[in-house]
Structure 1
Amino acid sequence: MSLGLYLHIPYCFSKCRYCDFYSHPGERGVPDAYVDALLRELHRFAPNAPLRPDTVYFGGGTPSLLTPAQTERLIRAAEPVPGAEITLEANPETVTEESLRGFRAAGVNRISFGVQSARDTQLRTLGRPHSAKQARAAFAAARRAGFENISGDIMLALPHYTQAEFDETLELIEKGGATHISAYLLKIEPDSAFGKHPPEGLPTSDEAADFYLYAVEQLEHHGYLQYEISNFAKPGYEGRHNLIYWDCGDYLGLGPAAHSCMGGKRFCYAPDTAAFLQDAAAPIMDGNCGAEDYLILQLRLRKGLDLAAYKAIYGKQFSTAQLAFVQNCVRAGYATFDGSTLALTPAGLIVQNSILAQLL
C-alpha cells in the first residue's frame, strides 16, 4: 500500500481573492522554527524508523518560499523510497533558475506552477502577484534546472471569461513544457475575498459548464488526457500523490489545517500556526474513511468505480434501484457502465454531486 506525505506550508506573499485555504499572507519566507515543527511531527509519527513515503507533496500557501536547504532537511528526514514522486507547489514570481536548481538538488522532481490565466488583467482581478511574463520565465527556468515533470494550473469560468483566454493560457503552459495540467472552475468560497465581494462578469452555471467541456476537449486534443475531474496528463505523468487520495490510500498531512487518513482513520490539525509551532496542537480525530468516501472519490476518476473492488473492500454492491439509476445516467450521456465498472463522462462530472446524491 502506498503512503503519501503532505507538508503544509502556510506562508504566502498575499492572499488571492478566491482563496480560502489556511495561510498567512504578508510573508517573504518560511521561518526555520516552522521547519523544525514539521520535523518534530515527522519524528512523532515515525519515532523509530524513517517514514519512507512513496510520494511527498509540499502544498500551501506558497511552498516555494522555502529555501532549498529547508526543503532538503524535510525530504532527508522523511527518507522517501527510491523513485518517489516529490512535488513542490510554486508561484512563478517566487522562483529563479538558481532556486529551482536548488530544489532539484534537494530531491524535488515535480514542480507545479499556479498560472491560472495568461492575461495580466485577469491575474490582477484574481489577486495573483505574478504576471504572464513571469509565468513563462518560471517554466523556462524549471526546464533549464532539470525538471521534466512540470504541472500548471488553469482556472476556468473567471470574470468576463472567454474561450480565447483559455486557449492563451493553455498555449503558455504547453509551450512551457508542462506534462500535467490541473484545470478547475472558479468556486466562490464564502470566506474568501470574492465570497465577501463577488466580482462582476461571472459566467452563469451553464456557461461555466460549457467552458469546462471546452477545456476537456482542447486539453485532450493537445495530448493531456483527463484522468480525474480536474486533472489532465501526458501518459505516465499522472499525479501519483493525489491518486493516493482518490484511491483511499494512506496519507499523512503535517502542519496547521493539514488532513490525514491512516488505516481508515481520519485526523487533522487545527488551523492555528502559533499552536503548531508551540507543540500545543495535537491532531484531532475526524471520523473514518469508508465505503461512501470510496464511491465518491472513485467517481472523480475517469477510470471510474470497479464494482468488484467495491464489494471486495467494503462488502457493498449496488441495489436494483441504484442499477436502474445508473442505466438512466448512461442513457442521458452522463456515464458509461459495462456491468463491472461505472465511470462518469465529462458531462457527468459536471453534475457529479447530483449523481452522488442519488447513488448514496
Structure 2
Amino acid sequence: MRPVGLKSYDKYTKKAVFECSVPGTRGHKRIRKVVKVESWDDLEKKLSAFRHSVQHPEQAITLPGDIPTLRAYVATAWESISSRLSDAKRKNQHAQLEQHITPALGNVRIDQVTIAHLEDFVSVMQRKRHDERAYSNATINSCLHLLRKILKHAWRRRVLADYPLREKLPLLPEPIVQNELTVDEREAFLASFHDEAGFRAHFIATALASRAERKHQPPNAQSDYVTYAFERFAWSKPLFILALYTGLRRSDLRLLKWTSIDLHAGVIRLVMRKTKRSVLLPIVPRVRAALETCRGRTVMSEYVLVTPDGRPYAESTIKRYFKTAKALAGITRRFRFHDQRHTFASTLASKGINSFTLRDLLGHTSTRTTERYARPSAEALDAVARALA
C-alpha cells in the first residue's frame, strides 16, 4: 500500500514526489515536493518530515534534496536549454549568463529564486557600466527572460516541484524603436546602388583612406579595382529590394530558393527559419522586376540572391553593402538592416492592413509582436495633421 503523501517514486532515478493537502483548505491547496532518496527507509524518513512540515508549517523542516544552485543547474542543463537556439542567440545568451546572471544569482538554489532576487538583480544591472555606458533596459529585460526560461526548464523536468516565481517579472519599460524609412529615404536608398560617382568618392574616404600609409601606392578612385567593387555592390540591389518589399528577415533572404518563388501565381511561399511558420507573400511589380533580373543572370544557383560567384551572400558582405548604401543615400540617423522589415510593416499598416493579415505576412506567432512593428508612417501622420488643421 502506498504511504500517505507519496505521489510517485522512480526507482531508476531515485526521485520521489511528495504531495499533501494543506490543512484547512478542503483539498483546494496542495503542496508538492521532489526529493532524491537513497533507499526505502530514507524515503519514509523524508516523507514523514514532509508531512510534518505541511501539518505544522511553523516548525517546517527543510527537506534534504538535490535541488541545485542556479550555477550548477545551468552547467548541467545548458545544452538542453539552448538546444533550439541559433548559434548567434546561443552565444549571446551564454554571454549574459557568464557576465551578468551567474555572478549575481549563481549561488542561489533554483527553488529559492524569488521576485525580490530579480528586483535586486535589476538594481545591480542599472548601476553597472559597459564601456562607460549604462546597460539598456532591453538588455536587462532579456536577462530576466532568460532567468525565467531556466526556471521553467527546471520545473517542466520536475527538478522543481513548483514554479518559484508567482509574480510578474520586474521588466523595465523599453522605448519604441521607430527607424522606418520615409518614402523619400527609401527611394534614395535604392538609388544609391546606381550612384557610381558617389561610390567612388565614398570608397576614397573609407577603404582607400585606410590604405594610405601602406608602402605601395594605394589604388586610386578610377582604378579597375574600384570599378570591380562598384559592380559587385550594384549587383546586390535585388537583395535590398526584397528586404523592403517582402519584409523577410536577413536569414530568410540569404537562403531564399527558387523553389519558393512562383512568378506565374505571383507569390512567394516559404517557411520562416525563426518561427517555423509558413508565409505567403505577394510579388509586387518592384519585386518581380528584381526577381526577373536575378533569373536573367548567367550565374546558376538554387538560391535566388547570390554573389557573382554563385554563392549566397555572407553576413559580413550584406552588412558592408548596407552600410555603404546608407552613406550614399545620406541616411545618418540610426537605421538597421532589420528596420527594412519594420518599414514594410509600417507601410502596410498606414494603408489600413489589419494586424491579423500583417501577422501572417511577417510570420509572427502573435499579433502582439506585430503591433510593435506596425506603426503609422510619417506620411500617414502628416495626412492626419493636415486633416485636423
For Structure 1 versus Structure 2, the TM-score category normalised by the shorter chain is under 0.3
With CA pairs under 8 Å and 6+ residues apart, which has the higher RCO, 1 or 2? 1
Structure with more of its chain in strand, by fraction: 1
Larger Rg: 2
Structure with more of its chain in helix, by fraction: 2
What TM-score comes out, normalization by structure 1 length?
0.22
